[in-house]
Amino acid sequence: MNDHSDKSVDSYRSFLLLSEIAGEEPLSQRELSRRAGIAVGLVNSYLKNLVAKGYVRVKNFPRNRYAYLLTPTGIAEKSRLAYQHLSYFTNLYTVARQDYLDLFQSLKAGGVARVVFCGVDEVAEIAYLSMQEAGIELVAVLDDAAAGEKFFGLPIMDVTQSTVSDTDIIVITSLKRAEEFLGKLLDLRGDRNRIYSPGCIDAPRSGRV
C-alpha cells in the first residue's frame, strides 16, 4: 500500500472512531473495535493520537470504566473528515463497483457459478451488486464480528467455525479488514488460489489478494 493509501485509511479510521465517540455513550475500546471494524490494538493507538491532538478527551467512570468524548476541536475535525469522505465514498463506489464486476466476470468466464463473501461492510454491498450483474450466486457469508446476523437473507457465519467447502471460491469483501481476513483464511485453508479480492483502495483492475 502506498503512502496515499495509508493516509486515506488512517483518515477513514479516525473518522469512524470520531463518529462512534460522538454518541457520547461510554464505550470500551473493545466495543469501539467491534463497531468500527478496527483491531483493538489499533483502536488504542488511534485513540492516543486523537487525544494527543486534542480531538478527544477521556472521562473516568467507577470500576475503571472510561468514556471517550469529543472536544469542540474534535467535533470540527469530524465534520471536516465527513466532507472529505463524501468524496472518498463516491470514488470508492465507482472504483469498487467496476473492480468487483471485472473480478466476477472473470470468475464467471472461468466457470465459477457460486462464491462465498468474507467480510461485511460498505464494500460488501457494492460487491453484491456487481456479483448479481455478473450472474454469480452467493452461497455463504463469513464475518466473525457479524456472526448470527443476515446479509441479503443469508446468515453470516464465523470465519473460523464455518462449514464452507474447501472447493468454494472466497471473495474478500471488506476494505477495512481485508488483511485480517486474508490471514485467517490462509491459516484455515492454506489455498491462496481460491481466495480473491480486487484490492479496492488503489487497484484499478481486479486481481488476487
Per the structure, the count of domains in the chain is 2
62 plus 132 within the same structural domain: no
Taking only the tens of pLDDT, the chain with its 209 residues reads 444 455 667 788 888 888 888 876 777 888 888 887 788 888 889 999 999 999 998 887 666 667 788 888 998 998 888 877 766 667 777 888 888 999 999 999 989 999 999 988 878 888 999 999 999 999 999 998 888 888 888 899 888 776 777 678 899 988 778 888 888 888 877 667 788 887 533 332 334 44
Q: CATH number, domain at 135?
A: 3.40.50.720
162 plus 122 within the same structural domain: yes
58 Cβ contact partners less than 8 Å away, ≥ 6 residues apart:
51, 66, 67, 68, 69
> Under a CB-based contact definition with an 8 Å cutoff, are residues 200 and 123 in contact?
yes
> What is the model's pTM?
0.56
Q: CATH number, domain at 44?
A: 1.10.10.10
Return d(Cα 177, Cα 9) in angstroms, integer: 11
Range of the domain at 7: 3-70
105 plus 173 within the same structural domain: yes
**Can you give the pLDDT at residue 135?**
93
**Can you give the pLDDT at residue 116?**
92
**Can you give the pLDDT at residue 65?**
67
Residue 33 lies in a domain: yes
**Can you give the pLDDT at residue 69?**
86
For residue 2, count other CB atoms closer than 10 A to its CB. 9
**Can you give the pLDDT at residue 203?**
31
Residue 22 lies in a domain: yes
**Can you give the pLDDT at residue 63?**
63
